[in-house]
Amino acid sequence: MPGILDGKVALITGGTSGIGRATAIKMAEAGAKIVFTGRREPEGRAVEAEIRAAGGEAIYVPADVGKAEDADRMVQTAVENFGRLDIAFNNAGLTTGAKALLDETEADFDAIMVPNVRGMWFSLQAEIRQMMKQGGGGAIVNNSSIFGSKGTAMSAHYVASKHAVEGYTKSYAIEFAAAGIRVNAVAPGFIKTRLTYYPEHPEAEKYMIAAHAMPRMGEDWEVADAVLYLSSPAAGFITGAILPVDGGCLAK
């Protein structure tokens, strides 16, 4: 969809690899000016250079969204460089290894809840504050998961964090609808990224493929396309929605 985001300013958290990187590139190709964050600076600089080499505008901001000051700084960077903020994709987050309830610690809880829930909440506050200040509405997409609406054993913190993402998405969609700020989420299935794809463990790959109705894992660009759609004028009457990008997993 070339040009569908012409003149828009988009912020992407966790944009140094995987779904975040794919979304930054897709949005730049669609005409948006990109600000993106991540904690791995070498990867961030590489994505920044890639977008610029293709003729796009991009600024990488080293940031940890689990810190309120970093969330504020990323939004301020967008405003200082491009004048406003129109779109945000709150993608930053972590998965967790399998662990039983009675073996879990407070540190395990914080390792997931800080980036996945508190970090998204800090980001939403900073983004919506700016969109309200400038007027004209905006589009926000949060990254949930198939586990935002179902459970699984041995990964309760991750599952709970994604349920929280969907709860915030629906609640803020209602709260800010009158201001023209749309808030939606994507719910990916098992996607081939560094967080979920382990080709050295074929049994794990077979499990992930079998979870979908379509007999394969998803690609990061397929999620990016869904984010691009929800961020665009084509989705102008959509808010509070959770869009599965899961090869039919939740339909099974």
174-197 average pLDDT score? 92
Report the pLDDT value the prediction gives residue 205, as an integer from 0 to 100.
Answer: 85
Report the pLDDT value the prediction gives residue 197, as an integer from 0 to 100.
Answer: 59
Enter the DSSP assignment of 103.
G
Residues recognised as catalytic: 158
Q: Among candidates 152, 142, 148, which has minimal Cα distance to 208?
A: 152
Report the pLDDT value the prediction gives residue 203, as an integer from 0 to 100.
Answer: 83
Asked whether the beta carbons of 37 and 48 are under 8 A apart, the reply is: no
pLDDT at residue 101 greater than cutoff 90? no
Helix (H) / strand (E) containing 51 = helix 41-53
Report the pLDDT value the prediction gives residue 94, as an integer from 0 to 100.
Answer: 87
pLDDT at residue 220 greater than cutoff 60? yes
143-156 average pLDDT score? 94
Report the pLDDT value the prediction gives residue 198, as an integer from 0 to 100.
Answer: 62
159-182 average pLDDT score? 98
Rounded Cα gap, residues 72 and 235, in angstroms: 27
Beta strands in 161-252 (DSSP E): 181-188, 242-245
Report the pLDDT value the prediction gives residue 1, as an integer from 0 to 100.
Answer: 44
Helix axes 119-134, 68-82, angle to 10 degrees: 30
Please write the tens of the pLDDT for every residue from 56-90: 999 999 999 999 999 999 999 999 999 999 999 99
Q: For domain 9-243, is the CATH number 3.40.50.10330?
A: no
Three-class SS state of 223: helix
Domain residue ranges in the chain: 9-243
Q: Which two tokens stand for residue 165?
A: 């993402």
Rounded Cα gap, residues 77 and 75, in angstroms: 5
Q: 230-236 contacts: CB < 8 A, separation 24 or more?
A: 230/139, 230/141, 230/182, 230/184, 230/186, 231/5, 231/10, 231/27, 231/87, 231/89, 231/139, 231/141, 232/1, 232/4, 232/5, 232/30, 232/139, 233/4, 234/1, 234/4, 235/139, 235/182, 235/184, 236/182
Report the pLDDT value the prediction gives residue 100, as an integer from 0 to 100.
Answer: 87
Question: What pTM did the predictor assign?
Answer: 0.95
Please write the tens of the pLDDT for every residue from 131-143: 999 999 999 999 9
